[in-house]
Structure 1
Amino acid sequence: MFTLSPRKRKNDGRTSTGTDPVTKKIKCTSVSELIAQFSYSRLLNRKFSPQFVRESVDFVSSTLFRTLPVFSVDHYIDLAPVGLCVKKREVVLSWFEYPEWPCLESAYRFLIKLVVTHKTDPRSARVFIRRSFVEKLLGLFHSEDERERGALETLLTCIYNKFTDHRKFIRNRVFDIIRRVNDKNSAKHNGIPQLLFFLGGIVKDLDRSRIDEEFGASGQFPLRALVPLFRSKWVLMFYPQLIGCIVEFVKKDQKIADRVILGILSSWPLTADDPRECIFLDAVAGVFQWAKPAGFQRCIAPVLQQVERCLSSPLFLVVERALSLLQVVIVEAVKVRLPIKRKVEAILPTVFQGLVKVTMKHWRGKTRRLGKKMCKGLFPLLIRPEQNTSATPMTASASLMGATRMEIDQYPSTAAIQLELPVYYYLAI
């Protein structure tokens, strides 16, 4: 079995901290030789020796664990998914690319292969991959290079799955990092997106009983640690991973959906022209579709009130996201087995005025057409146009929520009859 000796490592420059091209080339070549060793070991019916694991971990540690450089430029916030990015992502990310990344990438590849291979015995390897080693790996998540943080996330997942003794320690350390971000609202941690993605992967592979055991019962962790992250001014850095992680928790325990939604609504931006409203609308839409009927009835009123305010936003992206959320609310309302009268009373009076403004008075033609399209095709709870062209306003709205004329006559005056019915006719043509 091939092993590394301290003398050889010293002579070939692997432990050198120099940054000259020759040293980098020697390091990359050495790591490539180690990676090739895994292919050769497949022919051998035995596991790696403890000496090989120890020297491999020491070698990789000398390459990875270093003082991270500090950049003087402001951190780049990716607004492209929201539609507000004004700079090319590739150009901006080049500011934070480490020149020594090829050597680091080889070291990460080797360490990942060392952890995941069945040739590594976890009982003997845990002596060398200790908690102090994991603690140093978590410290590297401060790296400005997104490629390194992605490799760290993959490596941390492999260690979590391989070494069961370290799982509680890793979870507690990740929880502490998230709590520090919540406690210091102005603090910036570059690794939050990858750590949230890591947590989402853990939750996805667990059943309900294991989640309660590892993350606390009654949704304590998502409510106390994840939802407050929406208040961070750096939420634009990690909102896709944050939403995905919260949705994974809600999928496992749908009873907490209404409390999560109310927590997101309580963190809503105060200004009406804040582009972050797109993020909050996406988060509510992702969680709302997993709410149970009881939770649906508790949170539908505040959600629709927020949708009504967003429909009046001067930002067309916010208006379009509000229309998408309204569509989700309507689809979920169809699934809930409630009387038609209660559905109309819950949805129509709240969003009617805002919907009229969007379809008739919005400054952007595409947004107006989107509102009309939703009303005619994706908004069957409000209107179902008649086939003939001689339909009156009353007959055009006679199929509200699939209701008959007799059911409409039984509606309270404030729910449907006293609404501006000519507008329904306008939307139907």
Structure 2
Amino acid sequence: MLTKRKPDPQPMEPLPLFQNVAVSDRASLFLRKVHLCSSLCDFSTPLTSAPQIELKRQTLLELVDFLDSSSGKLAPNLHEDFIRMVSVNLFRCLPPSSDLGDLDDDEPYQEPSWPHLQIVYELLLRYIASSETDAKFAKRFIDHIFVLRLIELFDSEDPREREYLKTLLHRIYGKFMVHRPFIRKAMNNVFYRFIFETQRHCGIGELLEILGSIINGFALPMKEEHKLLLIRALIPLHKPKGFWAYHHQLAYCIIQFVDKDYHLAELVIRGLLKYWPVTNCQKEVLFLAELEEVLEATPASEFQRCMLPLFRQIGRCLTSSHFQVAQQALYLFNSEHVVNLIAQNRNVILPVIFDALEKNTQGHWNQGIHDLTTNVRRIFQEMDSELFKECQEQYLEKVTRARSLEEQRELTWKKIETVAATAGADDMVLVN
């Protein structure tokens, strides 16, 4: 948990510049400047705190210049105080996250202390990225607790902070190999808490972006731990209502898995079908777009394992009254790879979706959907004219049978109404 912090009431005194002291004295001056920057300023009263805020900002900038300079290598005794200063500034209590559906993209939240936080992030980034920073030594201070608290900050509503955090965590993952399993586990825990408890978190997209790079580096054969990540976190991430905010990064991670190991394609497709939206048409459009990307990486052997439930769902999408859903479903047939998969299994697939194609041709309200459906019908007709004719005959038989049943039902109701009217008249005679 991030804890609340109180601004330091002690006044800050300016310190000399690095170039104004002897080289031998710069380490001690660096330490004094770090201690000065460990004091927090009150951004709730910027007018009265302005001198201290500006003094600390200038001191932080001097620390940045020092790390960038040729003499900026930190002595071993300075690392701990430096990381402590970074921790004091960064690790704080975040305000409650807004509902993702209520966030105004035009006016994102801005952290009041950002004039200091940005420079502290720059300091930490330079420290991590520096070739002078030895990972074996620095892991004493950049430890599991530090990494965990850094990951907790991803819930910040300020997009500028999340962007820095994304870069930092990626650099830490690359430099501190010993922390890699812990980072993956900590990220998974954020996903689990988001999916199954809060469904509110500002940084899911950024964490998924980092994860996309991590997945890209997975070796084959894929470890069971990584497959569990797909099953327990990434596929269930399709369920939350805030899915739209991170769907692009999520889809990238999913495709990375399928590209790495095509045997996971069936698992992914069945997962999408499991969490398929029922009443949210915009979300359904995103599912169909992701499904197209997955199918592009799916071989015939995996496709055949799930094609029946898959095309039952696609058939329902084809006849959707929301034209964007129907349109996205019809766009699947623009993919040469998908059409090839369908052609190899047309005896199974065409009977499943033929009724949907006919209903669209005969009665969909949108002319664009009507035209796209006509093109798809033509593809199937050219693919296998005999099968198409057979499906058409079966469809006409079903339509005729349904019409006959409807006529019989209406006739039965008329008979019931006649009997009821006759019985009512007889009752009236008896009463009289």
Query: Given the two structures, how large is their TM-score scaled by the length of structure 1?
Result: 0.76
Q: Distance in 2 between matches of 1:201 and 1:129?
A: 21
1:424 is matched with none
Match of 1:149 in 2: 162
Alignment of 1:308-327 (within 5 A): 308-327=315-334
Letter in 1 for 2:163: G
Query: Pick from 62, 77, 102: which aligns with 1:51?
Result: 77
Q: Which residue of 1 aligns with 2:185?
A: 172
2:106 partner SS = helix
What is the 5 A alignment of 1:107-146?
A: 107-146=120-159
2:291 to 273, 284, 293: 284
Question: Relative to structure 1, is the Cα distance of residues 358 and 148 closer, same or farther in structure 2, using a 3 angstrom cutoff?
Answer: farther
Give the corresponding residue for 1:355: 357
Q: 1:360 to 1:36 in 2, by over 3 A?
A: farther
Per the alignment, residue 100 of structure 2 pairs with: 75
Q: 2:206 pairs with 183, 191, 194, which one?
A: 194
Shift in alpha-carbon separation, 1:371–1:381, aligned structure 2, 3 A: closer
Q: 1: CA distance between counterparts of 2:115 and 2:319?
A: 50
Higher mean alpha-carbon deviation, 236-245 vs 342-351, is at 342-351
Which of 59, 75, 78 lines up with 1:30 in the alignment?
Answer: 59
2:345 match: secondary structure:
helix
* Aligned residue in 1 for 2:176: 163
Does the CA-based 8 Å contact 2:37-2:85 persist in structure 1?
no
1:331 aligns with one of 322, 337, 349: 337
Q: CA deviation at 1:161?
A: 0.6
Is contact 1:181-1:189 (8 Å) kept? yes
Amino acid at match of 2:213: G
8 Å CA contact 1:47, 1:118 repeated in 2: no
Q: 2:105 aligns with which of 76, 79, 89?
A: 89
CA contact (8 A) 1:48 1:121 kept: no
What's the CA shift string for 1:207-228, capped at 9, x where partnerless? Answer: 223x416x34xx2321222111
Residue 207 of structure 1 aligns with which residue?
219
Going from structure 1 to structure 2, the CA distance change for 1:6 and 1:110 (only over 3 Å counts) comes to: closer
Q: Which amino acid aligns with 1:90?
A: D
Distance 1:370 1:22 in 2: 67
Match of 2:307 among 294, 300, 317: 300
Higher Cα Rg, which structure: 2
Q: CA deviation at 1:241?
A: 1.7
Q: C-alpha offsets along residues 7-44 of structure 1, whole Å, 9 cap, x if unaligned? A: 4344x455224223333333332332222234322xx6
> Structure 2: 5+ residue runs without aligned partners?
1-22, 397-432
Deviation digits for residues 134-168 of structure 1, max 9, x if unmatched? 11101111211122122111111110110111111
With over 3 angstroms needed to count, the CA separation of the structure-2 counterparts of 1:419 and 1:344, relative to structure 1, is farther
Give, in whole Å, the separation in 2 of the partners of 1:171 and 1:270.
Answer: 32
1:239 aligns with 2:247: yes
CA displacement at 1:310 relative to structure 2 = 1.0
TM-score normalised to structure 2 length: 0.75
- Residue 333 of structure 1 and its aligned partner are, at CA, apart by 4.1
Where do 1:362-401 residues align within 5 Å? 362-371=364-373, 375=376, 381-382=379-380, 397=381, 400-401=382-383
2: CA distance, partners of 1:28 / 1:201: 34
8 Å CA contact retained: 1:9, 1:15: no
Range with greater deviation from structure 2 (345-354 or 196-205): 345-354
Following TM superposition, by how much is the alpha carbon of 1:259 offset from its aligned partner in structure 2, in angstroms?
A: 1.4
Seen in structure 2, the aligned counterparts of structure 1 residues 27 and 346 have a Cα distance that, compared at 3 Å, is: farther
Aligned to 2:235: 227
When residues 414 and 168 of structure 1 are mapped into structure 2, their CA distance, relative to the original with a 3 A threshold, is same
- In structure 1, runs of 5+ residues without a counterpart are 79-87, 383-396, 421-429
Aligned-partner Cα distance in 2 for 1:371–1:116: 55
**1:265 aligned partner:** 273
CA distance in 2, matches of 1:60, 1:370: 58
Identity among equivalent pairs (%): 31
Cα distance in 2 for partners of 1:77, 1:247 equals 29
After superposition, give the CA deviation of every residue in 1:110-136 in whole Å (9 maximum; x if it has no partner): 211211121211121111111111111
- The secondary structure found in structure 1 opposite 2:199 is coil
SS of structure 2 residue aligned to 1:90 = coil
Secondary structure at 2:234 match in 1: helix
Q: 1:252 to 1:229 in 2, by over 3 A?
A: same
Kindly indicate whether the alpha-carbon contact (under 8 Å) linking 1:250 and 1:287 is maintained by their aligned counterparts in 2: yes
Partners in 2 of 1:120 and 1:14 — Cα distance?
21
CA contact (8 A) 1:50 1:125 kept: no
Measure, in 1, the Cα distance between the counterparts of 2:310 and 2:172: 41
Q: May I ask how many residue pairs the two structures share in their alignment?
A: 366
1:386 corresponding residue in structure 2 = none
Higher deviation after alignment, 348-357 or 172-181: 348-357
- Structure 2 residue identity aligned to 1:212: K
RMSD of aligned alpha carbons: 2.9
| Separation in 2, partners of 1:180, 1:89 | 24
Partner of residue 414 from structure 1, selected from 378, 390, 393: 390
The separation in 2 between residues aligned to 1:198 and 1:103, in whole angstroms, is 25
